[in-house]
Structure 1
Amino acid sequence: MNKVEMTEEIILAKKNLDISWEEIAAKVGLAPVFLTSACLGMNSLKEEYAKKLCEVLELSDEIAILLQEYPMKNWDKTIPNDPVIYRFYEIVGVYGETIKEIIGEKFGDGIMSAIDFSMDIDKEKNPAGDRVKITMNGKFLPYKSW
């Protein structure tokens, strides 16, 4: 079994149990965004969380072992057609340089870590239409001179 097959089994189990990512994450003890990312093969889990996830989803020990393997963080470099994912490309295309400029002014020359990082996705009720609220929180990493 490989990571793709692992993900397929996790998604099928989730669907069969009719359980949300937030419910799974609460039972496992991890943040929903991180847990989902690991289930989709883009992060690894520590043994205790991998085993707990497999308990919750009634999956084999083989899945728990694969969840602990370091991922190959590789994705298709073409612009995706999926509207949700495409919008993030659009946001970076329109606001990327602005984000970089403001980070530079507030912190100096550097980047936001995607390793020392967390993200929350929330639903914000609004009379004009519900809003998607995404909060990204990453450690600032200054560039070094040498």
Structure 2
Amino acid sequence: MTREEITQQIIAARLAKGFTWQELAAAVDRPVVWTTSALLGQHPIPPEIGSVLAEMLGLDPAAVPVLAAVPVRGGLPTAVPTDPTIYRFYEALSVYGGAIKELIHEQFGDGIMSAINFSVDVQKKPHRGGDRVVVTLDGKFLAYEWNRAT
């Protein structure tokens, strides 16, 4: 049983049982974005949490150690995403990525925003012109440290 096969089982079971991602996250007391990402194969799921989720979703208990393994993260099936929602993030970073990078350097110095020491949140914000999607990326600043060989 591969991680990809288990991910497909998770998706099918969640839909068949009518669970929302939020309900699954609440059941294991974890953030909804982390839980969703983990169940889609992007994070290892500790066995005690994996067991709860596997039981809720009716997965074979043999899936739990596979869910706990460190996954290969990232990667999309195409160079430019074709899913409209994912493409819009790609588009936004294509347009604003350079400006964000410049502002990080101006405000913090030479470094990067961590995607390891990181959290993300998605909120719905009512707006008279139509509901807004608010995505907050919260990563630790990591300064580049250039050491000279002595």
Q: How high is the TM-score relative to the length of structure 1?
A: 0.95
Distance 1:8 1:53 in 2: 14
Shift of 1:74: 4.4
In structure 1, stretches of 5+ residues that fail to align are: none
Distance 1:12 1:59 in 2: 11
Match of 2:73 in 1: 73
Match of 1:129 in 2: 130
Distance 1:143 1:25 in 2: 35
Query: 5 Å matches for 1:1-146?
Result: 1-76=1-76, 78-146=79-147
Shift of 1:60: 1.8
Number of aligned residues: 146
Shift of 1:107: 0.7
Runs of 4+ in 1 over 2 A off after TM superposition: none
% identity of equivalent residues = 44
| RMSD (CA atoms) | 1.1
Which residue identity is paired with 1:83? P
In structure 2, stretches of 5+ residues that fail to align are: none
Bigger mean CA offset, 22-31 vs 54-63: 54-63
